Chains A and B, each alone.
Chain A
Amino acid sequence: MSLVAFREVVKKYDTALTVNHLTFNIEAGEVFGLLGPNGAGKSTTIHMLSGLLEPSGGDILVDGFSIRKQPLEVKKRIGLVPQELAIYEALTARENVTFFAKLYGLRGQLLRDRVDEALRFVGLLDRAKDKPLTFSGGMKRRLNIACAIMHRPKLIIMDEPTVGIDPQSRNHILESVRELNRLGSTVIYTSHYMEEIEAICSRIGILDQGKLIACGTKDELKRQSGQAEKLIFEIDRAIEPALLEMQEHPGVKHVDVDKNGTVLEITVKESSSILQDLLFIVQKHGINLRKLTRVEPNLESLFLQMTGRTLRDE
């Protein structure tokens, strides 16, 4: 059984359909990336999943419990890391985590252990007595995460957890996501940063205008889009027979040559299987290879192709 199941989920505001019959599953143990430009319905979807908003239609099941009928059971299994820094500046880091832990029903030694565990996990145990007022943006983001994981939820929802922080803190957070996943949590991760999604997500869903327009692993999405890899050869001179030989290779889709004839952009089906053949052709015709570059299709171009917009489009 899937850990999360969206079943024809609809959210309407007046007449506007923000989420349009969303149906997909998230399996236990996945890091699921949710992509979409502003206004795609990403936040609304996450708010419905975490019980902040009631769906206008359909249902969401988490671990078999319905968000409409058993919201408290669903919430027990979820840890939400909101996009905003949902922490209290007047409380210390420890008090922040302790407060939310108490609301999750933790008490006594278990409470203290879990609070320490969460603070240690995000690297703030040595700053537990300090108030967030004295923290950097990255440290606040990490505290934001600690407040959502101390009860060891099955499902962690991270809504843009790396907005506005330094690269070091971003790496720390990404590593934390991997670690949480290794420890058994399923993670739903939204971000505007494609490289983050590519780096940590095992599956990706692309939302546009309230609809899930693509869903799968990165490779599956590439296949769905029909995008291919490219090999870029920078050579000293172009020789016509060599170009013809390359174009006729069954693993090559297309060869583009720049106006000087010294840069070949070769679109291939799979680079690993034909690279040796292409290098042999170059060598056979006495061409000197100056530089070789392999370009994989990325999510950015994939997203652009699927939605006609970049992720940061307003």
Chain B
Amino acid sequence: MRLWWTTACYELIKYSRMRSVLIILIALPLVLILLLGSAFDTHIKPAKVALHVADRGQMRESIDLFWKDEAITPYIHVLVADSEKEVQDWVSEGIADYGIYVPESFSEKLLAGEMAKWHTFSGRYGEKNMVAEAVVDRYMANVNLNLAAVATFGPNYKPVNEKSGSAMVSGESFLTIGTLDAGDNQVFGKATSMQYYSVAYLIMFLLYGGMSAALALLDQKENGTLQRLYAIPVSFRISVFGIIVGSVLLAALQAIIIIAFTASVYGVEWGRHFGWIMLICLLTVAAGVGLAITIASFAGTSKTTQTLFSILIFTMTFLSGGMIAGIESMIGDVSKWTINYWANSGLRAIMSGNDSLAIWNNIGMLALISIILTIIGIIRLPKVVKQHG
């Protein structure tokens, strides 16, 4: 055991010194997950709104109730300021995303039928400004509606929702959120966009990790170190096994870093079955290694292998919806012929807390593919590693 473990450890040391490999295998997927996950994420984060209400008139109570409404709190986090200047300062310093000042004369002007308005201060983030403005507009629309009703039906008219002075029904959201947990997204299934792309790119880059085993063998054959390994008094199978294990360990490390990082920094919920997740990752890497060795046995050189395998991974990722979410609905069952499909489905089933049967269906298919590709890889391995293969 010691010798293959020595080889595997030194493989890891070598990888750790190759900055480009680490960037491609670990940093790149994290960046892609962030970019695509954020770009397609319709989940709105709460905007911090600095608020100072100077108005002490009849509308004051309804204004205070409005900002405390449960329907608003998921989208607006109110910071109470002591003055209009403080509201302005907080927005300019970035303490608040948006600022609102309700003038002292607001109630008076409104009830006198004059033009009355809130003073608003936009912050640096357009998305947060939109959220806050939507809330303000909604309040104003309801106030105008009630005033129009009073003008039409007389002063005895009572608004439908006296509590907040708005037409909002408690619990009814006027802002869209983008997870299928809420049951309103046909694209990402039961996952958020961040979850969706975390899975897609974890699997894609684990396959790349599998390719590194075949490339390591070919590179060592090309630069002569494999020849030296043959000449040592150890069965060459042990040396080759050590090199492959080194790449698998790198892929495992890659998976742990991507999962841990996306969970802690991007807030991706991976579910509670870490063991199953690692099993899917391991099966994916095994399939990747088997496939890469098979390609390498025909390609002969590391450059050709890298090109062919990259095209294959790219195609499989595309067909399984890793680049265009929901592509399965356009291409039908073609995606089921990819490694990515079964690995992605398995991970997403774990994330969604599906029942074990649904998870094991995916893991079973992935295992079958991995076993077949590993067997083919083992058969073709001598062509890759033999000196005169």
Contacts and interface: CB of A to CB of B under 8 A. Distances in A.
30 contacts: A13-B388, A50-B231, A52-B227, A52-B231, A53-B388, A73-B233, A75-B231, A76-B233, A82-B224, A82-B227, A82-B228, A82-B231, A84-B227, A86-B225, A87-B225, A88-B10, A90-B18, A91-B13, A91-B17, A95-B13, A99-B10, A100-B232, A102-B3, A102-B6, A103-B7, A103-B229, A103-B232, A104-B233, A105-B233, A148-B228
Interface string A68-84: 00001101101010111
A147 B225 CA distance: 11
A236 to B, nearest CB: 59
B231 A78 contact: yes
Nearest to B15: A90
B223 interface: yes
A95 B11 CA distance: 12
A175 B224 CA distance: 25
Contacts of B13: 90-91, 95
Which of B3, B228, B229, B234 lies at the interface centre, i.e. has the most chain A CB atoms within 10 A of its CB?
B228
B6 A85 contact: no
Given A52-B231, A103-B3, A86 B10 contact: no
Given A84-B223, A102-B6, A103-B3, A90 B231 contact: no
Contacts of A99: 6, 10
A88 to B, nearest CB: 6
Interface in B227-268: 227-235, 239
Interface residues of B, number: 23
Contacts of A50: 230-231
A181 to B, nearest CB: 20
Contacts of A105: 233
A193 to B, nearest CB: 20
Which of B3, B18, B223, B225 lies at the interface centre, i.e. has the most chain A CB atoms within 10 A of its CB?
B225
Interface in B362-389: 387-388
Contacts of B14: 88, 90-91
Contacts of A75: 231-233
Contacts of A91: 10, 13-14, 17
A8 to B, nearest CB: 21
Interface of A: 13, 47, 50-53, 72-73, 75-76, 78, 80, 82-88, 90-91, 95, 99-100, 102-105, 147-148
A206 B193 CA distance: 71
A84 B224 CA distance: 6
Contact of A47 (B6, B232, B387): B387
Given A53-B388, A90-B18, A91-B10, A103 B224 contact: no
Contacts of B6: 99, 102-103
A51 B227 CA distance: 10
Given A80-B228, A103-B234, A85 B223 contact: yes
Contacts of A88: 10, 14, 225
Interface in B22-68: none
A82 B17 CA distance: 25
Contacts of B10: 88, 91, 95, 99
Given A83-B224, A84-B223, A84-B224, A52 B230 contact: yes
B233 A72 contact: yes
Given A53-B387, A82-B227, A102-B6, A90 B233 contact: no
Given A91-B17, A99-B6, 11 more contacts: A52-B227, A52-B231, A72-B235, A73-B233, A83-B224, A84-B223, A86-B227, A87-B225, A103-B232, A103-B239, A105-B233
A86 B227 CA distance: 8
Across the A-B interface, the 9 shortest Cβ-Cβ residue pairs = A84-B224, A86-B224, A75-B233, A80-B231, A86-B228, A90-B17, A90-B14, A76-B233, A72-B233
A85 B387 contact: no
Contacts of B235: 72
Nearest to A13: B388
Contacts of A95: 10, 13
Nearest to B233: A75
A90 to B, nearest CB: 4
A86 B18 CA distance: 18
A172 B362 CA distance: 62
A80 to B, nearest CB: 4
Interface string B322-365: 00000000000000000000000000000000000000000000
Nearest to A102: B6
Contact of B228 (A47, A76, A100, A102): A100
Interface in B158-215: none
Given A84-B223, A95-B13, A103-B6, A147 B228 contact: yes
A92 to B, nearest CB: 9
B389 to A, nearest CB: 11
A185 to B, nearest CB: 16
Contacts of A86: 223-225, 227-228
B388 to A, nearest CB: 7
A104 B17 CA distance: 24
